[in-house]
Structure 1
């Protein structure tokens, strides 16, 4: 199965005021996106250079509401690292086939930039497929291999905003050029290994917090609230633990094969990130 990628044109221009359809605007190749930026304030020329997105396209994104306007200092417009990260998000999503309309919906709903303030959603297979912009067979493949897990509510299988985030995270990884089959393999292996840990966590709850069979309605409702809170907290704990182990093991692996120059540069970047503080975290 493949995901259709949009064509990417590294040189396009359009005059001010010219009407363009969303899909007519092409972004520059995102393979070079991700260059480091060491200062907090950027001119539009610097932002264009770091993001590999033309100045015309940056201004077009602002007109469309995809990119916030710059901070005005006199006659100058200054951008920050959040603008660069936003452009990188847009380029990655365009590279895997999302239209600007779809990207705008996701950014405006803050599915990437923070918790959504919109009411909870419940989507069926086709609705979910349309929402994330990938075909139903691919959704089913992601479920089969453990990337996605729909919730069963009554007799229905539904997807919510968490599933949207997971699917878009998978698509973002594809945008970096990682093979889909390899991602599926990792997800399947991770799911199998996690089942035992999840069963142990459920057993812990059952043993210590499960209410007796003759519990009252209020006790059962409180049990549900307690479980929901613990579920969220435990999920965050496991996620943070996994992220830390991933960082440590990847770091160790890197230093085993890195050249002296690579090791020196990466060590300096780690020091800047963890010792001096990362303002973007």
Structure 2
């Protein structure tokens, strides 16, 4: 049976990859609208499918059921598909780079003795690598790992390369927050205050899609300008240091010349004590 004509609960569960039990549980929690009853059978349509897909996506992103309920309650009837598309756009990876799953032995082979247990914990804390259990790990950005490899080839210790990458990551997090706040202030909150009109969902989605590459281009352009300026200033300081004449070692000269004949100043000594006069007893 086509979706537009309605699906039974078994067909609905199969179409979204859930069990009938889970579908009924979401209904009991108020996350799914009741079906349309024809005869003695309930039928579900595209809105129910979109709602269940939205619930699945939010759960995969770590939202608990109470948070999902609040999101679902705020979703206008008939807009679930738009909210689902927007949520998927919001949580989609920023790049098409695929994470790489490696074993602990592979990591040790790559980094050798430099990968100490302490440094491994630090890498996990920074979020560059995620533990999957059973000594398997997910390298979230192989490109970032290759960058660390190049730094090590240039002579930097692995620990220094990791710390530099962590510091850069903190700065980039601040930049990302700037653009997220920009989107919230000028796009999302006005849309929310307007009552989240259904016809505005495509514009909000398009703005989000266009903002991502624009933010990346702006960061790259600013970094290029800033890097050029910092290198020039650092080079000027170093060249200025090279051009300065060496200072005479005055203290050494004074020590070498002190006390010599003709030096003009006698070596200072301890003051001589005058002999005390004894009173004669009469």
What is the TM-score with the length of structure 1 in the denominator? 0.36
Larger Rg: 2
- Scaled by the length of structure 2, what TM-score is found? 0.36
